[in-house]
Amino acid sequence: MRRDDKVGRRIDAVWRIEAGKIIGALARVVHDVGLAEDLAQEALVAALEHWPRDGVPDNPGAWLMTAAKHKALDHLRQRALHARKQEELGADADARGDHVVPDFVDALDAARADEIGDDLLRLIFTACHPVLGHDAQIALTLKLLGGLTTEEIARAMLVPEPTIAQRIVRAKKTLAAARVPFEVPRGEALHARLGAVLEVVYLIFNEGYTATRGEDWMRASLCEEALRLARMLARLAPHEAEAHGLQALLEIQASRLRARVDAQGRPILLLDQDRSRWDRLLIGRGLAALDAARAAGSDTGPYQLQAAIAACHARAATAEATDWPRIVALYDALAERQPTPVVALNRAVAVGMAHGPAAALPLVDALRDEGALQRYHLLNAVRGDLLMKLGRPSEARAEFERAAELTGNVRERALLQERARLALS
């Protein structure tokens, strides 16, 4: 591999980790989410110009943050200079542009601050403002915080890529036109946005748990950031049961991170994991958060139900000891609250474990025939697994090969290709 290729891949990896923090810090300075993203992208371009020639710095995240803040200060100086010239010419102050020009000294102080603080949380709440539709909120936040491409977001939301691109562009324009403040709301305003915020934190964690593309199966830093945000949300909204439910779910899921890959970074599926490597402290925190969710409200929401499913796995000392009938019952309840094709697929997996592959295959075939998951690789992977158990290896191999074609993750593709090879062995 050429040096430039290695540097380019390193830049891509750093950007995915640092993008949300950089955009959040810049949005606090310039008070415009779209502009903050543009300035962060300029810093990324600078890295692409300098790092192949000068080498990757020891702290690449700090380099990008500094470069981005310099871009922001240059922009603010230009705006301030333009504003003074307009005043000197006697121009009406209201005609100076679409955006409020922040006080330059205050902005300079903000830009020089090393502490990011809760900028990521502010960024999420800003992107989830009610002036945006629900789907636009989700797409924009995934773009800003996760450093995801429009293709990756489209895959996550099961929507065509051009649709996602349009949503993101319109969302940034809408936020700018509405001059949405960069802040964490309180009271009823917080409650009104909380559902969307919880969803994007959940999706960010999922992207970290199983990366849509790239050479690593997981992006642990993204999981850690989502978990940190979930804990903050539970503290911000202590009476919101689903805030505790999300924290419970992410704590328990995060407890498995060390066991999900081997020493070479290859995926280890849930039933094959060494459960002694699961983090018991995180499991304990997750179970406590689940208790807090139950205490906060009588209505059991989707995150609490998913957390309860995760708790079934966490409480089982071995894979064989898993209470699959209980998990099926929880998926039944989840399907009533959240009747999505992905939930139905996960329920089918549980049915297969509880009642056998012959009971699950018709459920998966029905989902295949509906077509909503036709490009969702896990549908083919699940079907392949069921066919293997039913003694139909040729069909199973075709399903694993199709799943491998559909996934953008290098590690997951290799796993599925290996399963395809083993199907006929």
Residue 179 has pLDDT above 50, yes or no: yes
Residue 93 confidence (pLDDT)? 44
Q: Which residue has the higher pLDDT, 371 or 359?
A: 359
Domain boundaries along the sequence of the chain: 1-117, 220-322, 338-425
What Rg do the C-alpha atoms of the chain give, in angstroms?
A: 23
Q: Worst-scoring range by mean pLDDT, 65-74, 282-291, 329-338?
A: 65-74
Angle at 386 between CA 381 and CA 389, to 5 degrees: 130
For the chain, give the percent of residues with pLDDT over 90: 52
Length of the chain in terms of residues written: 425
pLDDT digits (tens, 9 = 90+) for 224-258: 989 989 999 999 899 999 999 999 999 999 999 99
Residue 262 has pLDDT above 60, yes or no: yes
Question: What is the C-alpha separation between 80 and 70, in angstroms, rounded?
Answer: 15
Q: Are 251 and 283 in contact (CB under 8 A)?
A: yes
Residue 304 has pLDDT above 90, yes or no: yes
At a CB cut-off of 8 Å and minimum separation 6, what does 359 contact? 351, 352
Distances (CA, A) of 403 to 182, 305, 379: 41, 28, 8
At a CB cut-off of 8 Å and minimum separation 6, what does 51 contact? 7, 10, 11, 57, 60
Residue 171 has pLDDT above 50, yes or no: yes
The amino acid sitting at 208 is G
Question: What is the C-alpha separation between 145 and 165, in angstroms, rounded?
Answer: 16
Q: Which residue has the higher pLDDT, 288 or 152?
A: 288
Question: What is the C-alpha separation between 401 and 40, in angstroms, rounded?
Answer: 39
Residue 409 has pLDDT above 80, yes or no: yes
Reported pTM: 0.77
The overall average pLDDT reported for the chain is 87
Q: What is the mean pLDDT of the segment spanning 359-367?
A: 98
Q: What is the mean pLDDT of the segment spanning 123-148?
A: 86
Q: What is the mean pLDDT of the segment spanning 404-413?
A: 94
Concatenated DSSP letters of 368-381: HHH-TTTT-HHHHH
| 105: confidence class by pLDDT, cuts 50, 70, 90 | very low
For the chain, give the percent of residues with pLDDT over 70: 90
Query: DSSP state, 55?
Result: -
Q: Are 98 and 32 in contact (CB under 8 A)?
A: no
Question: What is the C-alpha separation between 135 and 159, in angstroms, rounded?
Answer: 10
Q: Please state which CATH number belongs to domain 338-425.
A: 1.25.40.10
Q: At what angle do helices 134-146 and 187-209 cross, to 10 degrees?
A: 60
Nearest one of 281, 130, 65, 306 to 203, comparing CA atoms: 306
Angle at 375 between CA 369 and CA 376, to 5 degrees: 90
Q: Which residue has the higher pLDDT, 71 or 358?
A: 358
Question: Tokens for 360?
Answer: 């699950």
Nearest one of 382, 409, 397, 384 to 155, comparing CA atoms: 409
Nearest one of 381, 379, 352 to 368, comparing CA atoms: 379
Q: What is the mean pLDDT of the segment spanning 184-208?
A: 89
Residue 92 has pLDDT above 80, yes or no: no
Q: What is the mean pLDDT of the segment spanning 139-167?
A: 83
Q: What is the mean pLDDT of the segment spanning 253-275?
A: 96
Residue 111 has pLDDT above 50, yes or no: no
Q: Which residue has the higher pLDDT, 224 or 95?
A: 224
Find the farthest-apart pair of alpha carbons in the chain and give their distance in angstroms, rounded.
Answer: 83
Concatenated DSSP letters of 224-290: HHHHHHHHHHHHH-TT-HHHHHHHHHHHHHHTTGGGSB-TT--B--GGGS-GGGS-HHHHHHHHHHH
Q: Which residue has the higher pLDDT, 343 or 100?
A: 343
Task: Return the H-helix or E-strand segment holding 119.
Answer: helix 119-127
Task: Return the H-helix or E-strand segment holding 408.
Answer: strand 408-409
